[in-house]
Structure formats: structure tokens, C-alpha cells
Amino acid sequence: MKWLGYFDLYLAQRQISAYRLLLLDGYGSHCTREFIEYCDNAKIIPFCLPPHSSHLLQPLNVVVFQPYKHYHSQAVEAATRTGSTDFDKVEFLTAIDSIWQQTFKPMTICSAFCATGLVPYNPSVVLAQLCKAQESTSPLTLLSHSTLIQPSVQVQAQAQTPLTTHSLKQQGDDLQQLATNLNLSLIFQENLKLVLKGGMVQAISEEQAVADLGNSKAAEKAQAARQKSQRTVQKGGVLYTHQAQNIVQQKEAVELQKAEIALRCAQSAMTKAQSAERKPLLTEAKEFWKKMGTLHTSRKKLMRALCVEVRKVGRNRRRHVK
């Protein structure tokens, strides 16, 4: 119900007509009374896909899940190459964002609805697949009909060059069954079996060699990148994401402490420099005030001596007058 509320809220911003169509599978929890009443009140038409048809009608199954599995396997492989032997919840939550961004692209979503014939509405896409599935028959089925005169011609017309071990094995089994149905000699059947077995061994060996070569190149690139950066995260063992995050946090804390110490040293040096610059000024000021004090003292002495002389002159005048 919470998801249905989000659907109603965000789809209302792009609503064109009065009613909206909601496509969903026929799971029982989707068709509750509360769910239906909410849809009726919000003018949402819920349409359940027919059972056993999700491989043809559901956009996620037809298009989206395949690239999702591809990018998920790439994330698991990348984690394995970097030493993670256990792709746990922490590793998954770390990689899910990139997987989601690479998978659920607007072009992928639009192609999913187009491939299922939903948007734009094109039922012939699904009907053509149903008709093709009904009409397609294997070479072994054609051999069961008495009207088949030249089965080998039909097999050659439908056979294709096997590019994978699975297709090679499937065509090999078909050829063995064909040889049995045609009542060919046992020697021919045994030789055919040996040839097919050797081909399977070579195909598996080639696939393994290609995979090993790709892993070796990836490991060499990763090692070269590590050597180029000249940074060692951990020696030996497995490093998980939370452990790497703790190491990074500890390193950042150490760098912050170093920066604070450097800032304190710089402030202390600046204070000392300012004190050294003020010291000559203070010395000059002290000398100036010392000189001023000396002058003030001399002035007082001069004034006292002047006063004494004035008094003497006054006394002498008074004596002459008498």
C-alpha cells in the first residue's frame, strides 16, 4: 500500500487522462480489498498479467533482469579479483548503487515495454513469439514422421555453427540420436561419439584458457595500478569494505592531527616573529621615556635653582631699600 501511494503521487504529475493503468502480476497479496478500494478511489485500473506469461509480458523478465544479472556478476567478479572471498551484505550494498545506475537506464526501461508490446501497444510482438514456439520443431521430431524422405537434408538446413560448448553439446546429442534413428553402423556411432567428445574437451579447454587469460590480464593491470600508486592498504588476508573504511577514517584522523600540530607551530612562530618585531620598538620607547624623565628632572632642578636666585635678588633689593 505504501508503494501504491508513491505510484499515485508521482504518476499524478504526468497524468493525461482521467484513469491510469497499473500492470502487475497475479500474486494474491496485490489483490486485497484495501488495494482495490484505493485504486477505485484514485481512478487507477489494476490489470493482472495472465499466469505463466511473465517471460513474454513482464518487462523486467524480458529485458531488465538480464543486464542486472550481468552487472551483478561483474561486481562479484571484481570483488573476487581484489581478494574478497565472501560477497556479503556489506559488499552488495557497496556495489548496488553502480549496478542500479547501469541497469535501470531510461533507454533500457523503454525498450523493455516495447519488447513486451505494452508501450506502444503492439500485441503482434507477443503473438508472433507464441506462433513461433508452436511451429518450431527439432530435427528429432521431424524424423518421427513417415512423410520425411530425406531427414539429413532437413538437419543440414536447420543446423548452425556451434559457438559455445552448450550449443556444441546440444547439436552433438542431436547427431547421435539421428544416427541411432537412421540405424547407422555401430562403428560409425562410436567414432561419432569420440569425435564429439574430443570437440567438447577442446571447447572447454579453450573457454578455460580464455577465462584464465582474461583474469591474468586483469590481475596484471590491478597490480600495475597498485605499484604505480605506491600505496599499500593491507598485507595478506582479505580486506572488506568496512575495514577499508575504518583504515581511511583512521588515516584521515592522523592527517587532521598533523594539520592541527602544523597550525599550532605556525601560530607560535608567528607570535614569536611579532614579539621580535615589537621588541626594538619597546626598547626605543623605553629609552625615549627615560630621556623624557631625565629632561623632566633637569627641568625641576632648573626651576628650583631659578626660584632660589629670584628669592636672593628679592632679599637684596629689600636690603638696599632699607
How far is residue 261's CA from residue 259's CA, in Å, rounded to a whole number? 5
Please say if the pLDDT value at position 139 is more than 70.
no
Please state, in angstroms and as integers, the Cα–Cα distance from residue 167 to each residue in 62, 148, 193, 200, 208, following that order.
22, 25, 16, 10, 17
Helix (H) or strand (E) holding 12: none
Q: Please report, for residues 132, 196, 251, 311, the alpha-carbon distance to residue 94 in angstroms, rounded to integers and kept in the order given.
A: 43, 45, 21, 105
Residue 107 has pLDDT above 90, yes or no: yes
39-53, 85-99, 130-144: the lowest-pLDDT one: 130-144
Residue 306: Cβ-neighbour burial (10 angstroms; 0-12, 13-18, 19+): exposed
The whole-number pLDDT of residue 146 equals 40
CA angle, 173 then 177 then 178, to 5°: 115
Radius of gyration of the chain (CA): 47
Residue 149 Cα distances to 37, 157, 182, 215, angstroms = 63, 14, 12, 51
- Give pLDDT, residue 71: 93
Task: Give the model's pLDDT for residue 153.
Answer: 38
Choice among 14-23, 24-33, 97-106 with the minimum mean pLDDT: 24-33
- The CA distance from 228 to 224, in Å, is 6
- 24 or 320, higher pLDDT: 24
Cα–Cα distance measured from residue 117 to residue 138, given in angstroms and rounded to the nearest whole number: 28
